[in-house]
Structure 1
Amino acid sequence: MGNDNRRHVVPNEDGGWDVKAPGASRASAHTGTQAEAEARAKEIVRNAGGGEVVIHGRDGLIRDSDTVAPGNDPNPPRDKKH
């Protein structure tokens, strides 16, 4: 099914935020803030050829996701034609 390069930004139970691949037991990266973790996740995905970054809130629930080029955005923005 092509490139399934994903990283999740999740809260770390000891504080800070982790960047994890799906099913991984260890984090790819650990940062102090969610914004830093999101930036690092996007860098990792971009360097691997693009894919999805999924951002979780402090409650662990998904709150956002972002496609990193040249990934395949499942919900691309619509062209605004007037």
Structure 2
Amino acid sequence: MPKRDTHRVMKHPGGWQVKRDGDERPSHVTDTKKEAENLGREISKNQGTELQVHGKDGKIQRSDSHGNDPYPPKG
């Protein structure tokens, strides 16, 4: 079974999707990327996962850790 600790915001034929690694189907499909990011961020915070936001080209644009960050900053 694949490790399921990342939610991704990615392009979808119907708009933009929020999908957790290892799941076959997206949990949400939205019309806009902004909507998908907002939903994805809330889900990721609640479930303590990583959130990766992809561009239209599929490349990761940014990543936010909402779980056990293996390298937390000191301070």
Q: TM-score, normalised by structure 2?
A: 0.77
**Structure 1, gaps ≥5 residues long:** none
Q: What is residue 26 of structure 1 aligned with on the other side?
A: 25
Per the TM alignment, residue 15 of structure 1 is displaced from its structure 2 partner at its CA by 3.5
Q: What is residue 46 of structure 1 aligned with on the other side?
A: 45
**Structure 2, gaps ≥5 residues long:** none
4+ long deviations beyond 4 Å: 74-79
CA distance in 2, matches of 1:34, 1:5: 21
Q: Is this contact kept in 1: 2:18–2:40, CA < 8 A? A: yes
Larger C-alpha radius of gyration, 1 or 2? 1
Identity %: 44
**Over residues 13-63 of structure 1, what are the superposed CA-to-partner deviations in whole Å (9 max), with x where a residue is unaligned?**
x24100011132200111111111111111112222x12100110011111
Going from structure 1 to structure 2, the CA distance change for 1:77 and 1:18 (only over 3 Å counts) comes to: same
CA RMSD of aligned residues (A): 1.9
CA distance in 2, matches of 1:46, 1:37: 14
Per the TM alignment, residue 75 of structure 1 is displaced from its structure 2 partner at its CA by 5.7
**More deviation in 54-63 or 15-24?**
15-24
Q: TM-score, normalised by structure 1?
A: 0.72
Is 1:66–2:47 an aligned residue pair? no
Q: Is this contact kept in 2: 1:5–1:45, CA < 8 A? A: no
AA matched with 2:59: L
CA distance in 2, matches of 1:21, 1:43: 13
